[in-house]
Structure 1
Amino acid sequence: MAKTAKTAKSLGFYLVIGLLLVGLAGFGATSFSGGTTTAASVGSREITVQDYANALNARLRQLQQITGNPVTMEQARALGVDQQVLSTLVIEATLDDEAADLGLSVGDAEVRDRVIGSPEFAGLDGSFDRETYRRLLQNIGLSEGQYEDQIRRESARTILQAAVLGGVPRPTTYASTLAEWVGQRRSAAWVRVTEDDLIAAPAAPEEGELAAWYDENPDAFTIPETRRISYAWLTPEMLADRVEVTQEELRNLYDQRSAEYVQPERRLVERLVMPDADAAEAARAALDAGETTFETLVTDRGLDLADTDLGDVAEGDLGAAGEPVFAAAPGDVVGPVETSVGPAFYRVNAVLAAQETPFEEVEDDLRAELATDRARRAIEQEVERLNDLVAGGASIEDLAANSELEAGQIDWTEETSDGIAAYDEFRQAAASAEQGGFPELVRLEDGGVFALRLDEVVPPEQPPLEDVRDEALAAFEAARIRAAVIARAEALAEDIRESGTFAVPGREGRVDFGLTRRQFREDRAEGYVDTVFDLSPGEVRVMPTDEGALIVRLEGIRPADTESETVQAEMETVADRTSQSISQDIYQVVVDELQSDVPVRVNDSAIQSVLTQFQ
């Protein structure tokens, strides 16, 4: 039981370590050019080149098992794996240094139990095999003494970690309070009020009301800043119709794409890589005996099914596994099959029939593709001459008159997205253009080009009412009706408050029972659920909606059932997350303090030497 508790705390610690890696990546270490055997040092503790190489190699193997594919050092460095491994070793060395200062250690008996109990060192009979032990350590460049010293240091770190993290109590009161708050349920009565519920239509507006309302609501009618722009442009699509493509060329392109248009049978397949042949054979026996399933094997490897998904594959994609996989039926588990990443099982999920797309179905698409590609190259060949014209002072009109470019004009705003304004490059150039500036030739993402000239900037303005009278009058009438509906709803809500009866003439009220804070009922009104949980029992409130208004009354509150599995699970989740967060904060303080007291140095040349050997 003690060992189980210690293991759990150790696992929790490493979760915390994982969260700290990014923050510790720039821990302020300085560099030195020491001997080739030392990769870094933390206080009196050295991290050897072999330590770093072993840790890096172990992480690469772990990534390979997870992805099912070899991971190159270039890929690993792009993910920051090299720095993460170094940061982990620095943290461990920092803890080792502190543990040594505190005199923390474990006895020979525990080290012996750890060694003998490691399945990696077991022989064919399943018991500890010293020759296997010696050989495996030799393979990773460690002596027995060095490895056993690592065990001592790891155990001491675990003791230190447990001392730091083990004293954090579970925040049960906080978790219970929050779970009860989340688990509370409420019932609310509601009824819609629309224009049909008005006793009478709003009175006709008096003289000057429309003008006053128009002046009070300028944002609804203000025209944004408009840039009047002249431009000349040419795209491959504009030029494609003038490009000739022969039937022979189309046939050749179709033949080149035969693998795309003529596809053999394929399979939807999942692959699970096992750690070694013994584990694979044991898994096969368990599958055959009905003692396990493919899903269970995946879970036991610490993976999700998504990690094993190969998608749809052809027989040739699977190498030695291709023939047995394609001979299997959907649902079958094939294997173990020896692969480049180790023994693996394959599960067939579906059979995809062979498909053939005839030439006639794709002829038009191929023609457009070839023509557009040639048009793109033709434009590229013109770019130098067009740049010379622009450099020589050619205007937009000159460019259109002396090239294939077509001239145009546009009143552009930030909301314009038609025609040439659909291109990001044009919108950026239009937004930054200045009056009096010289045109520049700009490339478009599809291989086209354009140049523009800013002719005028029209500032934002609210047009005269007479220019938009019909639009303004319609909006004004809608606003008056909406205000009248809300006023009618407020009057009806007051009647409900006074009478205590939830009733609206000509309307049937409805009740939502058992609402929770996490539900969405935006079909009622925006913020409906939040409003329900803001009300007191019996309180009535009017909520404006797009169609009019909603009258809502809180009918009752049902406390959370603290004995239910759902609320209990919520409490556990909140307690775990909060406890972990508190532990992380405490541990961060400890790590920061230790890091500030211990000098950390990194031998960049040694680190680079290790990385180079992995290329």
Structure 2
Amino acid sequence: MAARKGNKLVYWLMLGLIVLGFGGWFTGGGRVRSTDMGTVGGLELPAQTYANALQAQIRQMEQQTGQRPTMEQIQAMGLDRAVLAQVVTQRVLDAEAQRLGLSVGDIRVADAVRGTPAFQGVDGNFDRDLYREQLRRAGLTEASYENSLRGDTTRTILQAAVLGGVPEPVTYSRILAAYSNEKRSVTWAPVGPEAVTSLPEPTDEDLQAYYDDHPDEFTAPEVRQISYAWLTPDMIQGQMSVSDQEIQDLYNSRLGEFVKEERRLVERLVFPDEQAAQAAKGRLDSGDVSFDALVEERGLLLSDIDLGDVSRSELDGAGDAVFGAASGSVVGPLPTGLGPALFRINAVIAADETTLEEATPDLRNEIANEKAQSVIADLRSQVEDLTAGGATIEDLAERTDLEPGQIDWSEGMSDGPAAYQEFRDAAAAAREGDFPKPVDLSDGGLMVLRLDGVTPAELRPLDEVAADVRAGWDAQARREAVLAAAKAQAEAISAGARFEDQGLTPETEPALTRRGAVEGTPPDFVSTAFSLAQGEARALPVGDGAVVLRLDSITTAPEDDPAVVAERTTLASQISGAISRDIFDAFARQLQAGTEIRINDQAVAAVNGQIN
């Protein structure tokens, strides 16, 4: 346990030191043995130490992502340099510990080895043969591993000596916990667009100003004139011949989709012998115990006994009894391969059959579609040859089954060929003068397109968009009028008026915290509530309307509240940890300044080259 604790403590310290960079650490060359990568403060840096640390990081990434990264990816992320920094920093600390005369005895190292679960046999005791085999797989000797444990523990002692005097920030954590757990009682009410019954008539100057201030609303998008020739399975599917035998064969090959036998959702509780199972069933029948309680008595969870949905045949000898019982009942004891068991039926999934006649239309379409895709796939090579020879869209329409068309396409369109993402990507990337290239569509179709011209995005004249400008101005004027009305209501409420007196329907939040949220309110609702004086009201815009918010009362957080005490403890630990890291970083920087570090870059490259 001591070794593992030491590893964890040193590990986060190492991560903190990585950000210090590598300046002054590495110098090329250096005379080192083939098993070492260099020296740190006179101590050798074994190549195997770096290799093991890098492999451990790679395995961690593989577990997180499900894919093992390549060395190129590792180096692109800088992971190899980060790991090298980690092992170098460990040796810096080892050198300082050696200078100070710090170490641990053989007895403590032996206890750590014996206490490691990975080295314990099936009886829970230390297994020396297993210990040697595990080390062999990791590329370690007993001496090197035990020296590593000794170093980890020694570094922990060094860390404890540096950080032993760091006080716990009691006052700071108390202030933060009190701040975050303080509560507000507020009353609020929505103000909708209907609060404004009339709007002023805009002048020409008003409309011109709105038009000038919102050019994006009135700019016509870029339009691309696209000529294309295409063929999709849907276009020719009706021309495909499908025989009754083909439909029958496909139906038979997927019979499980069309003929589904009855299944049941079942739980199975197994007992060690028939006597125990009969006793449990008797208690269950008499009402002395529930099925869930029997599961708990067996030391199990419901998830442990859940078989999911099963068929009659999957239950072997218990199938007839289980499938003869009603949903919600418990049957048994019944024999199973694990022993006598009680079965609870939670639901019945009725048998379902789709006949060949019922399935025929869909199967015919499916087969015809596959044949159409095959025809188009065979056509692709011909289209490639023609386009490579300089054939135009018009040539393709004449010499193949591709059907021609033209579309004025802009971003946001999704009609016709623009329904395909492949078309939209190709249309956006096309350049005038490009030779047509085949584009494969997601449904097995084929398309070739050409950009004929581009109409740039352009601000439309005011007289052309006058109706849209007026609608936009009206919407803006209404929002401003609603907010102005809400502000007037908030001022009245701040002066002592009731929400109801202002024609509002109030809602109350009696215990709002800084981490809270209220549905139907703007994002700054909570922060505004905590900025108000008691009794003060304020209007906030939200969507096409507004809300009026009043602070009713302030409740400070009780110091003895369990939630406050827990947060205070957590904050103190986090803050203390941050202070400790800063102190140790400063200590490490001082060590680095006085430590000679020589790394053989060729040795590092050799290790990297052996990572698979």
TM-score by length of 1: 0.70
Match of 1:419 among 397, 416, 419: 416
SS at match of 1:457: strand
CA–CA distance in structure 1, aligned partners of residues 167 and 524 of structure 2: 37
Change (3 A) 1:145 1:407: closer
Aligned residue for 1:401? 398
Aligned residue for 2:282? none
Per-residue CA deviation, residues 442-479 of structure 1 (Å, 9 max, x unaligned), is: 33344333222333322333434444444443333333
Aligned residue for 2:131? 136
Map 1:18-33; keep pairs closer than 5 Å: none
Instruction: Answer with 519-528 or 73-82: which moved more.
Output: 73-82
Change (3 A) 1:548 1:110: closer
Deviation of the 1:409 alpha carbon: 2.5
Is it true that 1:177 corresponds to 2:175 in the alignment?
A: yes
Deviation of the 1:541 alpha carbon: 1.8
Map 1:114-263; keep pairs closer than 5 Å: 114-115=112-113, 132-133=127-128, 136-137=131-132, 140-141=135-136, 145=143, 148-164=146-162, 166-198=164-196, 201-206=198-203, 209-210=206-207, 213-257=210-254
Is it true that 1:380 corresponds to 2:377 in the alignment?
A: yes
Per-residue CA deviation, residues 34-77 of structure 1 (Å, 9 max, x unaligned), is: 877x27455333436599579969997x999x99xxx9996898
Gapped regions of structure 2 (runs ≥ 5): 268-293, 323-329, 339-343
SS at match of 2:448: strand
Change (3 A) 1:389 1:522: same
Change (3 A) 1:470 1:263: same
CA–CA distance in structure 1, aligned partners of residues 398 and 183 of structure 2: 73
Aligned residue for 2:470? 473
Q: Are the counterparts in 2 of residues 442 and 451 from structure 1 also a CA contact under 8 Å?
A: yes
Instruction: Answer with 181-190 or 207-216: which moved more.
Output: 207-216
Q: Are the counterparts in 2 of residues 230 and 408 from structure 1 also a CA contact under 8 Å?
A: yes
Change (3 A) 1:532 1:138: closer
Change (3 A) 1:502 1:403: same
CA–CA distance in structure 2, aligned partners of residues 18 and 259 of structure 1: 55
- RMSD of aligned alpha carbons: 5.5
Change (3 A) 1:163 1:353: farther
Match of 2:574 among 559, 577, 580: 577
Gapped regions of structure 1 (runs ≥ 5): 270-287, 297-304, 338-347
Per-residue CA deviation, residues 165-191 of structure 1 (Å, 9 max, x unaligned), is: 555444443333332222121122223
Per-residue CA deviation, residues 268-318 of structure 1 (Å, 9 max, x unaligned), is: 99xxxxxxxxxxxxxxxxxx997995679xxxxxxxx9xx99997999xx9
Change (3 A) 1:31 1:354: farther
Q: Which amino acid aligns with 1:45?
A: E
Deviation of the 1:105 alpha carbon: 0.8
Q: Are the counterparts in 2 of residues 193 and 485 from structure 1 also a CA contact under 8 Å?
A: yes
CA–CA distance in structure 1, aligned partners of residues 555 and 501 of structure 2: 26
Aligned residue for 2:275? none
Q: Which amino acid aligns with 2:131?
A: L
CA–CA distance in structure 2, aligned partners of residues 207 and 56 of structure 1: 72
CA–CA distance in structure 1, aligned partners of residues 259 and 10 of structure 2: 54
Aligned residue for 1:507? 504
Deviation of the 1:518 alpha carbon: 1.9
Change (3 A) 1:424 1:572: farther
CA–CA distance in structure 1, aligned partners of residues 44 and 151 of structure 2: 11
SS at match of 2:227: strand
Q: Are the counterparts in 1 of residues 9 and 156 from structure 2 also a CA contact under 8 Å?
A: no
Change (3 A) 1:139 1:483: closer
Q: Are the counterparts in 2 of residues 423 and 444 from structure 1 also a CA contact under 8 Å?
A: yes
SS at match of 1:381: helix
Deviation of the 1:378 alpha carbon: 2.2
Change (3 A) 1:88 1:249: farther
CA–CA distance in structure 1, aligned partners of residues 529 and 207 of structure 2: 37
Aligned residue for 2:484? 487
SS at match of 2:511: strand
CA–CA distance in structure 2, aligned partners of residues 378 and 119 of structure 1: 62
Match of 1:452 among 449, 455, 479: 449
Per-residue CA deviation, residues 464-496 of structure 1 (Å, 9 max, x unaligned), is: 444444444333333333333333333333333
Q: Are the counterparts in 1 of residues 135 and 141 from structure 2 also a CA contact under 8 Å?
A: no
Per-residue CA deviation, residues 574-596 of structure 1 (Å, 9 max, x unaligned), is: 33334444445555666676598
Deviation of the 1:106 alpha carbon: 1.2
Q: Are the counterparts in 2 of residues 39 and 607 from structure 1 also a CA contact under 8 Å?
A: no
SS at match of 2:458: coil
Change (3 A) 1:160 1:229: same
Instruction: Answer with 364-373 or 12-21: which moved more.
Output: 12-21
Instruction: Answer with 513-522 or 582-591: which moved more.
Output: 582-591
Aligned residue for 1:345? none
TM-score by length of 2: 0.71
Deviation of the 1:516 alpha carbon: 1.5
Instruction: Answer with 20-29 or 213-222: which moved more.
Output: 20-29
Change (3 A) 1:196 1:568: same
Deviation of the 1:385 alpha carbon: 1.9
Change (3 A) 1:120 1:496: closer
Per-residue CA deviation, residues 332-359 of structure 1 (Å, 9 max, x unaligned), is: xxx9x9xxxxxxxxxx999996977646
